[in-house]
Amino acid sequence: MSETFKYMKRLAIIGSGDLGIQVAHFAQMVGFTIIGFFDDFKNSGDIVDKYTVIGKTETIIERHRNGEFDYLFVAVGYKNIMARGIIFDRFKHKVPYATIIHPSCIIDETATIGSGVILYPGTIIDKDVIIHDNVLINNACVISHNSEIFEHCYLSPRVSIAGFVTVRSNCFLGIGTIIIDNISVCEGI
């Protein structure tokens, strides 16, 4: 295996809607090569933005085994929050997920960021924050010290979370949401 091939970062994205296009944009900024979208609601060969729909989700595992891409990312938005988790779990431990972090983000060295996470521009992740798998954190969010965001959550632009907050799985926090310290948000809000 050549050294060039060994370190390639080829990304396939599940979902070719507006969110998929945004994910592709940010992923390219941090060095991923976008090979296309998997989308069960579009035809193979369709062009979305400048990317090709390369197939349905049922072909993902086989195509990864064939070496067509290195990483996967779920770009299903808040309107289908439960589907985000179901799709992510379907391929977890079978295909590696990419974590995409915009270069303008500030992340404390003590923070933990899971797989399949995207951090949009201007995000600040403070001391001892834990972000679990498959979380989308949109523009200019701030997550303060000792807070934890569980899997499959979607945080809209400018969400502000104070210290010692827990946000359980499958939560959607709308634009400008503010959560004061020591609050626990239950699953599926």
Looking at residue 189, what is its pLDDT? 67
Torsion region of 164: left, alpha or beta (phi above 0 gives left; psi -120 to 50 gives alpha): left
Nearest to 37 by CA among 24, 9, 146: 24
Question: Any idea what the Cα angle at residue 172 is, between residues 150 and 166, rounded to 5°?
Answer: 35
Looking at residue 7, what is its pLDDT? 58
Pairing label, strands 106-107, 51-55: unpaired
Instruction: Kindly report whether the global pTM for this prediction surpasses the value 0.75.
Output: yes
The answer to whether the beta carbons of residues 119 and 102 sit under 8 Å apart is yes
Which residue(s) pair with 67 in the sheet?
none
DSSP 7: T
The answer to whether the beta carbons of residues 19 and 79 sit under 8 Å apart is no
Contact residues for 33 (Cβ-Cβ < 8 A; gap 6+): 8, 9, 10, 11
Give the chain's largest Cα–Cα span. Answer: 51
Which residue(s) pair with 112 in the sheet?
130
Backbone angles phi, psi at 184, to 5 degrees: -115, 120
Looking at residue 1, what is its pLDDT? 38
Q: What share of the chain is helix, strand, coil (3-state, %, to 5)?
A: 20, 30, 50
No. of H helices and E strands in the chain?
4, 20
The per-residue pLDDT for range 67-111, each reduced to its tens digit, is 999 999 999 999 999 999 999 999 999 999 999 999 999 999 999
| Positions of the chain with pLDDT under 50 | 1-6
